[in-house]
Structure 1
Amino acid sequence: MKIHHLSEQNSVLNTFISEIRNVEIQNDSMRFRRNIERIGEILGYEMSKHFNYKASTIKTPLGDCSINLLENNVVLCSILRAGVPLHNGLLNYFDTAENAFISAYRHHKHDPESFEIVVEYLACPSLENKTLVLADPMLATGQSMLATFEALKPFGTPKEVHLVSAIGAQEGVDFIADHFDKNTHLWIAAIDKKLNEKGYIMPGLGDAGDLAFGEKLQH
């Protein structure tokens, strides 16, 4: 797997990462969503540098202009509900992208410290020979990302696969590196060292879905 860890180089991205982590700022859910969206925009911009382009000519009021334009047929797929702000950030930069949405959540049967990933809702266009961008803001164990990818397989074989996350744990990064094709790209803003006993990223930021949209009742 090709890993692009953006915070290894200092940029304004650090400001948005610090604010989604900061407990004094997290209470503002609108600001949290916007910061996740801005992180998605930055990750999308950097990802676009690795896409394919073709020479094109456009007409301006004063003449013709040659420019290279994006050639990839992009499908953005996000894991509900936490993935929505990240999806919006990516969609801000890929105007013509098709969109897919999937629900994948942790189901705790008996032991609160163990879980399985359950996929229920899925809406997806054909992925055949397209560029699949799979977005989940928090890459903890990596199991949700893998379960989502497996659920998408009946929709066709993508030409290339890009995974996008705001924050991940090294364990999750290692897990998907072992389970995805070596040509898969991971675009991630920050990588933390470990998971706690419940499978949450440390220091992480908490539950991204709750911070973006309010606390939920467990079922």
Structure 2
Amino acid sequence: MHIHNISKENSILNTFISEIRNKEIQKDSMRFRRNIERIGEILGYEMSKVLSYKTKDVATPLGTAQINLPINDIVLCSVLRAGVPLHNGLLNYFDTAENAFISAYRHHKHSPESFEIIVEYLACPNLENKTLILADPMLATGQSMVATFEALKPFGKPKEIHLISVIGAQEGIDFVNKHFDNNVHLWVATIDDTLNEKGYIVPGLGDAGDLAFGEKLQQ
């Protein structure tokens, strides 16, 4: 798997990452959502550099310009609910993409430290020979990314696969790396070293879904 850690080079991306981590700034849920969206835009821009392009003629009022334009048939799939702002950011740049949505959550059977990933909802177009972008803002253990991809397999075999995350834990990245082919790309805004005993990224930022949309009821 090709791993692209965008934070290795200094850019305005660092400002948005600092704000989503900051425990005071992240209290503003609207700003949190917008920062995730902007990070999605930056990750989408970086990802666009490896897509396939074809030179096309574009008529202007004064003549014709030749421009290299992307030709990939893209399907953008985000993991609900935390993935919605990230999805919107990517869709701002890939505005002709088809869209898919999938739910995935941690089901704790016996203790807070052990869980399985449950997928209950999935809406997806045909993926055969297309470019799949699978977006999940927090790549913690990596189990959600793998489980959602497994759930997408009945919809066809993509030609290309790009995974998009805002913050990834090294352990989760290693787990995902074992389950995806060598030609898959992972685009991540920044990488943290540690998971705590409950499988949350440290220092991370907390629960991205709660910060974006409010705390959920626990069943």
- Which bracket does the TM-score occupy, shorter chain normalised? over 0.9
1:172 counterpart residue number: 172
2:210 counterpart residue number: 210
- Displacement after TM superposition at 1:110 (Å): 1.7
2:95 counterpart residue number: 95
Secondary structure, counterpart of 1:205 in structure 2: coil
Deviations along 1:17-62, whole A, 9 cap, x unmatched?
0000000101100000000000000000000000000010011111
Deviations along 1:104-148, whole A, 9 cap, x unmatched?
000011211100000000000000000000000000000000000
User: Residues of 2 paired with 1:122 and 1:211: CA distance?
Assistant: 23
TM-score by length of 1: 0.99
Secondary structure, counterpart of 2:106 in structure 1: strand
1:22 counterpart residue number: 22
Q: Does 1:129 align with 2:129?
A: yes
Q: Which runs of 5+ in 1 are unaligned?
A: none
- Displacement after TM superposition at 1:87 (Å): 0.3
Q: Over aligned residues, Cα RMSD in angstroms? A: 0.4
Deviations along 1:4-27, whole A, 9 cap, x unmatched?
000011100000000000001011
Q: Does 1:153 align with 2:160?
A: no
Task: Provide runs of 4+ in structure 1 moved above 6 Å.
Answer: none
2:34 counterpart residue number: 34
User: Residues of 2 paired with 1:216 and 1:71: CA distance?
Assistant: 40
User: Residues of 2 paired with 1:160 and 1:206: CA distance?
Assistant: 31
User: Residues of 2 paired with 1:120 and 1:134: CA distance?
Assistant: 17
Which shifted more, 35-44 or 62-71?
62-71
User: Residues of 2 paired with 1:91 and 1:138: CA distance?
Assistant: 18
1:5 counterpart residue number: 5
2:117 counterpart residue number: 117
User: Residues of 2 paired with 1:136 and 1:112: CA distance?
Assistant: 22
1:45 counterpart residue number: 45
User: Residues of 2 paired with 1:49 and 1:168: CA distance?
Assistant: 21
Residue type of the partner of 1:65? A
User: Residues of 1 paired with 2:178 and 2:93: CA distance?
Assistant: 30
Deviations along 1:50-97, whole A, 9 cap, x unmatched?
000001001111111110111000000000000000000000000100
Q: Which runs of 5+ in 2 are unaligned?
A: none
TM-score by length of 2: 0.99
2:185 counterpart residue number: 185
2:162 counterpart residue number: 162
2:200 counterpart residue number: 200
